[in-house]
Amino acid sequence: MQGALTPPILSGPSQSAVSNQGLMPTASQASNIAPQPSKTFSSSGPLAAKTKPHVRRMRRIIAEDPEWSLAIVPLLTELCIQHIVKNFQKNPILKQLLPEHQKKVLSHLSPDLPLAVTANLIEDENYWRRCCTQRWPVCHVAKHGGSWKHMFFERHLENLLKHFIPGTTDPSVILDLLPLCANYVRRIRVDQFLPPVQLPASLQTRELSDSGSEVESEEPTMDHYQLGDLVAGLKHLEELDLVYGVKDCGMNFEWNLFLFTYRDCHSLAATIKACHTLKIFRLTRSKVDDEKARILIRSLLNHPGLEELDLSHNLIGDRGARAAAKLLSHSHLRVLNLANNQVRGPGAQSLAHALAHNTNLVSLNLRLNCLEDEGGQALAHALQTNKCLTTLNLGGNELSEPTATLLAQVLAINTTLTSLNLSCNHIGLDGGKQLLEGMSENKTLLEFDLRLSDISQESEYLIGQALHANREAARQRALNPGYLMSPIIANVPGNSVE
């Protein structure tokens, strides 16, 4: 305590202020002390200057002052805590204190303290909550594992990455942060990577884009920030969500801004291969074509932890799909998202082949591709043997009646599928009836999207009834798991017919 009270850097006036406060606490002074802590955080210099004349003036004890009382004298511990808070940046003392004092110190610390001091010292969630709310108006702490500290560091790092300009910004800005945030970053979600600045004259990226069009030929220099070093330093990284593009470019649009170069691709592939803790990898809206997809997926083969792969909104064709199919059989992938790509029949066939004997994949999204009946039938065949997949999205794939017929058979057999999306296809009236027949024997499907798929209103309604019955049964099962639900399930078909 003594050491904490008299550090060598203590300024003269403040010291005298403290001693004076301790010696003669007067009523008016006490009123001064009360707001003091809040001021102390911002700057000690002006405060000392401010309090000094007060103290001078209040030197004498006014005996007849009726408001004077001993209770107003702040405790020595209180004073010490104030001091610690004031000098926290230069002399951080926290662990040595008693728990209640720690709490007090933490509640009074400024969120502007340098991270180098606070990062590994402070665990208190309330402090980091204050830091977060001060920096960002909207905070979804649930998205960051419920930890404010994690949220702070993840968003801080994302911010840095978003505004990193290769060649201009100093890479040490990010790498210096690495030892501080390594323990707290679980997830990196970056929705923009800025390309390097071409003209030294224009420092702003948006201005750069103008000139970028002029120097279009210098493509090799368009590489983005290489994540390798950063990711290698993050021990707990689990999720990587990247978009190689520029946000808010406005009228400065340039194709160049949205270029995912081969070098980027190679370095990214090496990065994710080296990161064994990775569970979720997303690379969307980044113009990933077959070649790049193959490079990336090859690096992901036999990855120990990967569970989710999202390559939606890219330019992946049949070859990329084949690579993804290979990945299915060489990893523990649970979720695969290839929505809005250019996968056609052959790609779907290879995926179906991999799916037929896969036991890990739970969700497959092939929305907005061009599978057509060829691919649809292959997938339906695969579903006859698959016992794992629960969610399948085949919306907008130009499927028609033959696929529907096969899927109706699958529905009658399969007991794992809970969600199926066939919206925006040309299934037709007959296909709708067949699906209804298949649905009448299914007891597990809970969601079945058939909007805008040219089927009759009647069959859509009846399928809706069947789904409702299934949902009720599932609810009953969830409510009392030990209960045998056979009578209620038996009751359901009558219900749906009604």
Q: Which residues of this chain interact with other proteins, rule CB under 8 A?
A: 367-368, 370, 395-396, 398, 423-424, 449, 451-452, 465, 468, 471, 482-484, 486-488, 491, 494-495, 498
Nearer to other proteins, 87 or 465 (CB): 465
Q: How far is the CB of 213 from other proteins (least distance, A)?
A: 17
Summary count for the chain: helices (H), strands (E): 22, 9
d(CA 222, CA 202): 16
Are 405 and 434 in contact, with CB atoms under 8 Å apart? yes
Q: How far is the CB of 475 from other proteins (least distance, A)?
A: 9
Q: How far is the CB of 253 from other proteins (least distance, A)?
A: 11
Are 77 and 84 in contact, with CB atoms under 8 Å apart? no
Nearer to other proteins, 144 or 367 (CB): 367
Nearer to other proteins, 121 or 485 (CB): 485
Q: How far is the CB of 367 from other proteins (least distance, A)?
A: 7
Q: How far is the CB of 292 from other proteins (least distance, A)?
A: 22
Nearer to other proteins, 94 or 489 (CB): 489
Nearer to other proteins, 48 or 348 (CB): 348
Nearer to other proteins, 249 or 452 (CB): 452
Nearer to other proteins, 177 or 368 (CB): 368
- Residue in the structure block whose two tokens are 């989710």: 308
CA distances from 112 to 41, 83, 88, 89, 203 (A): 9, 17, 11, 10, 27
d(CA 356, CA 384): 8
**Which class for 425: exposed (0-12), middle (13-18), buried (19 or more C-beta within 10 A)?**
buried
406-410's contacts with Cβ under 8 Å and 24+ in sequence apart are: 406/376, 406/377, 406/380, 406/381, 407/376, 407/380, 407/383, 407/435, 407/438, 408/434, 408/435, 408/436, 408/437, 408/438, 408/439, 409/380, 409/384, 409/438, 410/380, 410/383, 410/384, 410/438
Helix or strand holding residue 365 (H, E): strand 363-365
Say if strands 187-190 and 363-365 run parallel, antiparallel, or are unpaired: unpaired
Nearer to other proteins, 273 or 285 (CB): 285
Q: How far is the CB of 488 from other proteins (least distance, A)?
A: 5
Q: How far is the CB of 468 from other proteins (least distance, A)?
A: 8
Residue 416 CB-half CA count within 13 A:
15
Q: How far is the CB of 465 from other proteins (least distance, A)?
A: 7
